[in-house]
Amino acid sequence: MNDRRRWRVRVLVLAGSTEGRRIAGELAGHPAGVEVITSLAGRTLTPRALPGLRRVGGFGGIDGLARWLSAEHITAVVDATHPFAASMPGNAAAACAATGIPRLRLRRPGWLPEAGDRWTVVSDLGAAATTLVATGARRVFLTTGRQELRPFTAVPRAWFLVRSIDPPDPLPLQRAQVILACGPFDLDGEEALMEAHRIDTLVTKDSGGDAAAPKLVAARRLGIPVVLVARPPAPPGPCVTTVDAALEWCEATFLAALAPPTPEPQAG
């Protein structure tokens, strides 16, 4: 992928979250001389710029990733995929175990309820749809992502305000309006949006983070119930919730062992 002799360590950052971009930036700027490869699944049509070398697309499951890690002489993997990434965390754990490469899961904390919140926590999107039917929800603000709409076809009596970064293609819901937007969102805007559309229920995944949290505060202020989809479990092995903690793991795992770079000989 690059002239790897220039680099003493090569780190694969599995990106797809804000934290992925941040840890890649921290490592790419590290004085020890770290080559960072940031990897994206390729779901977002126009992803934001990322530090380091960028690669896009899957590796071909656990075996494909294990082969790629060995061929590219990767020193360590930081799995900073989205908290709801379903396969990649397990694949990374298995491929790194098979190749003996250290791996860290970086996953920001989930949201915590506060006084006044009316949350129903459910295990998956199907259960979220079942809850909407059971509660008789009629005007639903759906923020689960453009590729996660199909389960809500089971709620024919509801109208949906669907918010996504890229357009759903196709849109499986008959009674829906789509708005395209990318966070961070602000509280006043979220409150105004929910009022303008007379929303009676918010559905969201427990993605965590500040950028998307204002919708939960707006729902609390407006007394709107929230159906919150719980996260998939993290794979076994080291897992941290902040970029600082991830950097500490990198220091302890491979950066501290590096001797300082040899200074260039002085001319003359």
Binding site for ligand NAP (CB under 6 A): 14-17, 39-41, 43, 58-61, 64-65, 81-82, 84-88, 91, 145, 205
Whichever of 131 and 204 has its CB closer to ligand NAP, that residue is: 204
Q: Which residues contact 228 (CB under 8 A, 6 or more apart)?
A: 111, 119, 120, 121, 122, 204, 205, 206
Please report how close the Cβ of residue 45 comes to ligand NAP at its closest, in angstroms: 12
Q: Are strands 76-79 and 34-40 parallel, antiparallel or unpaired?
A: unpaired
Whichever of 15 and 137 has its CB closer to ligand NAP, that residue is: 15
Q: Facing residues of 41 across strands?
A: none
DSSP string for residues in 174-218: SSEEEEE--S---HHHHHHHHHHTT--EEEEE---SSTTTHHHHH
**Is 5 within 8 Å of 71 (Cβ atoms)?**
no
Q: What is the DSSP letter of 160?
A: E
Q: How far apart are CA 23 and CA 36, in angstroms?
A: 10
Please report how close the Cβ of residue 12 comes to ligand NAP at its closest, in angstroms: 9
Please report how close the Cβ of residue 208 comes to ligand NAP at its closest, in angstroms: 11
Q: Facing residues of 35 across strands?
A: 10
Whichever of 209 and 225 has its CB closer to ligand NAP, that residue is: 209
Q: What is the DSSP letter of 64?
A: H
Please report how close the Cβ of residue 223 comes to ligand NAP at its closest, in angstroms: 27
Q: How far apart are CA 205 and CA 123, in angstroms?
A: 10
Q: How far apart are CA 197 and CA 129, in angstroms?
A: 20
Token pair, residue 153, equals 């076809």
Name the nearest CA neighbour of 81 among 39, 25, 143. 39
Name the nearest CA neighbour of 93 among 207, 239, 217. 239
Please report how close the Cβ of residue 90 comes to ligand NAP at its closest, in angstroms: 8
Please report how close the Cβ of residue 136 comes to ligand NAP at its closest, in angstroms: 27
Whichever of 32 and 65 has its CB closer to ligand NAP, that residue is: 65
Whichever of 14 and 34 has its CB closer to ligand NAP, that residue is: 14
Please report how close the Cβ of residue 62 comes to ligand NAP at its closest, in angstroms: 8
Q: How far apart are CA 18 and CA 243, in angstroms?
A: 10
